[in-house]
Amino acid sequence: MMALQQNLRGQLQQQQSLSRYTSWRVGGEAKQVYRPADAADLALFLQQLPEDEPVLWLGLGSNLLIRDGGFPGTVIITAGTLQQIDIDGLSLSAEVGVYCSKLAKQAAKAGMKGAAFLAGIPGTLGGALAMNAGAHGGETWDFVTGVTTINKHGQLRQRPASEFKVSYRHVALPDGEWFIAANMQFEQGDAEAESSLIRELLKKRNASQPTNQPCAGSVFRNPPGDFAGRLIETSDLKGLTVGGASVSSKHANFIVNDGSATAADIEALIYLLQDKIEQLHGVKLIPEVHIIGEAN
């Protein structure tokens, strides 16, 4: 194991199960997990990693399936750590560990219009930036004006939004760089109206999604002109099960863990759904969930 300097202020743990860090509650071990104290501490930590060390960034672990064999490298946890938010008029800057729901509520409180959709995203700003997360008709990069990235050498770089190729649920990030913060611009709105909209969206989400069960958000991207959930539901595939994983009876584009599922169960169910929808409808569903790590 590499020797790390004593002046790091974050928390480093070896051989950690990643199931506790993912919303599906599955996943094998990582070689090590680091919780940085702040951005400066994170930069110092990255400077000490070997050049070829695999690195995985984790917020709330939604939209992610880590295989049962785990991740053979370093996992950096941002949730609960990189949580600085600054507001200036209608401009907002936030670090990637900020929960999307918190960002939405802070923006609403400041009288900003447009951020309410973020309350429906069960993750952190970092994940929302990486995949251009969206909900209720809004998408993250509609409001991003610039970002701060960090590379493996701990070097920070400011980049305007115009440098990024952004599409549906995808953002092309320069090799060897990761998002660490973003600047966002919103319109003038009414604080009470925006706060009321957030409450309404959360109520709708709780009514239509299995928020009380381990899941990872929408499993598949919506195909052009259609909805993945509609295709699955109309194919009578709600309740389809592999091991401890099943298609939610509440929302067909969600897979839930009954408490006994392995990552292999969930991955097998994803592929089974793809095959069935392609056979029945001629549509190849593309996973929105990122599948990483090694199989057992």
Catalytic residues: 169, 218, 288
Backbone angles phi, psi at 273, to 5 degrees: -65, -40
**3-state per-residue secondary structure call for 9-77:** CCEEEEEEEHHHHCCCCCCCEEEEEEECCCHHHHHHHHHHCCCCCCEEEECCCCCEEECCCCEEEEEEE
CA-CA distance, 285 to 157, in Å (whole number)? 36
Tokens linked to 259: 């408490």
Looking only at the bridges linking them, the beta strands covering 170-171 and 138-139 are unpaired
Sheet with 241-242: list strands edge to edge: 241-242, 245-247, 255-257
Q: Is 107 helix (H, G, I), strand (E, B) or coil?
A: helix
The helix (run of H) or strand (run of E) holding residue 245 is strand 245-247
